[in-house]
Every structure is written in structure tokens, then in C-alpha cells.
Amino acid sequence: QKEVEQNSGPLSVPEGAIASLNCTYSDRGSQSFFWYRQYSGKSPELIMSIYSNGDKEDGRFTAQLNKASQYVSLLIRDSQPSDSATYLCAVSGLEAGYSTLTFGKGTMLLVSP
Amino acid sequence: DVKVTQSSRYLVKRTGEKVFLECVQDMDHENMFWYRQDPGLGLRLIYFSYDVKMKEKGDIPEGYSVSREKKERFSLILESASTNQTSMYLCASSSLGGRGLFFGSGTQLSVL
């Protein structure tokens, strides 16, 4: 059974700080890694994807991947109250030509003004 | 933008009823998925389909079936609804190679 682990939180940070969200996964064959943001009562929204070791930056978001440690993280710089949401880590392998995602249970982020 | 449309936002059904949840995507995606999301349990995959008329069981297929007669439409069927199927149901789609899933707005199903 593939597993994706996240700290459930809540992670509380003040406005303007850096929020660091972490995720570990069990399947060494995983190839694609995603971060989703989910506001309360809404569906998940894809915000970042990363496929190779290292950092990938998109605006205030940076995804980091370390396949040797089976670890992926999301940094949010200059955190805003509107970033308050649950962040889901998802990991994908490739099986029989198609892929399925395994999701972590999510980390709740609270950004205080 | 990718659009995944689920037919109902809220649905209330009685125990034993047959329930149909409909999902349509407009991006010509090959892969379509049904998840349910429950507090403390996260997102769990029920069924997915990688082609028309093809279906694969996910992690929790018991009590559910699916139908994919057209590429853009993927239906989830609860054969005989039970109270433990009260949940948020999320449909998603992705292109071949699966560079991320795109979700519909979800259906909150209550079975009484």
C-alpha cells in the first residue's frame, strides 16, 4: 500500500513569514509530485508540480524534491491570510501506461494578520 | 481552463436508493477518476478510467460501480445507498501521462 504522510497541523504562521509544509512518501518508484490547495468546503486546486530532484519556483511558492530521502516540501514566502487552507501532497507512479495519485491527508495552514 | 463539471453540489438520498453522480470534462482528457473525501481519512480513490468503456478499481470500490460510455463523461453509481456512503464525492480528470488532476467542485451526498 503506497503511503503519503503529512503533519495534520494546524501550522500557524504570521503574515509575511515563510510557511514550510512537508511530505514523505513510501513508494521509491514514484515519479511525479504535486501540491494541492483546498479551501474549506471547496475542491482541491493544483498549485505546484515537480518531477526531478531540486527546487522549482513559481511566484511565492517553491516546491522541493529529494527522491533519495523520499521527501517533498512546499515553501510559501510572504504568507498571506488568503493562503490559509489545507495543503495536500500527492504522489504518482506510472502503472500500465496511466497514473494514479495517492494523496496525503493534508496540512492545515493558518496565516494570522 | 480545464472544466470538470459535477451535476449536483448537494444531494440527499434515502438508504437503499440507487444514486447516480455525473461528471463531465471539456478538455478531452483520457483519464477520469472518482474520489471520496472524509474528515480524518483524506481523499480515497473509488474507481478510475483511462479510456472509454474501461474501468479500474481504486482503493475502496465496494458498494460502487462506474460507467464511461463517452470520453467526456464518467458516472459513479451507488447501487444501494447506505449511511456510510455519506461523503463528499470528487470527480477529476487528467491527460495521458497524468500531469496532475483537475477536480470538479464536488458533490456532498447525504444518505439518510
Residue with cell 490547495: A37
Q: Which residues of A touch B31 (CB under 8 A)?
A: 98-99
The string of pLDDT tens digits covering residues A6-16 is 998 899 999 99
Which of A49, A76, A46 has the alpha carbon at shortest distance from A62? A76
> Burial letters for B5-20: b for 16+ Cβ neighbours within 10 Å, e otherwise?
ebebeebebeeeeebe
pLDDT given for residue B1 in this prediction:
67
Q: Which residues of B touch A43 (CB under 8 A)?
A: 90, 103-106
Which DSSP state fits A45? E
Which of A84, A48, A80 has the alpha carbon at shortest distance from A63? A48
Q: Average pLDDT over chain B, rounded to whole? A: 93
Which of B42, B72, B50 has the alpha carbon at shortest distance from A94? B50
pLDDT given for residue A94 in this prediction:
64
Which of A81, A74, A97, A107 has the alpha carbon at shortest distance from A6? A107
pLDDT given for residue B68 in this prediction:
96
For residue A2, is pLDDT > 90? no
pLDDT given for residue B98 in this prediction:
63
Q: Residue A10, preceding bond cis, omega within 30 degrees?
A: yes
Return the sign of the alpha-carbon dihedral for residues A63, A66, A67, A72: negative
Return the sign of the alpha-carbon dihedral for residues B39, B78, B107, B35: positive
The string of pLDDT tens digits covering residues A30-81 is 888 999 999 999 999 999 999 999 999 999 999 999 999 999 999 999 999 9
Cell (9 digits) for A59? 511566484
The answer to whether the Cβ–Cβ distance between A98 and B31 falls below 8 Å is yes
**Rounded to 10 degrees, what is the CA torsion of B16, B22, B23, B26?**
170
Residues B75-88, mean pLDDT to the nearest whole number: 97
Query: For residue A40, what is the nearest residue in chain B, using CA coordinates?
Result: B39
B93 at interface of A, judged by CB pairs closer than 8 A: no
The burial of A4, by beta-carbon neighbours within 10 Å (0-12 exposed, 13-18 middle, 19 or more buried), is given as: buried
Q: Which residues contact B46 (CB under 8 A, 6 or more apart)?
A: B34, B35, B36, B58, B59, B60, B61, B64, B66, B76
Rg over CA atoms, chain A: 14
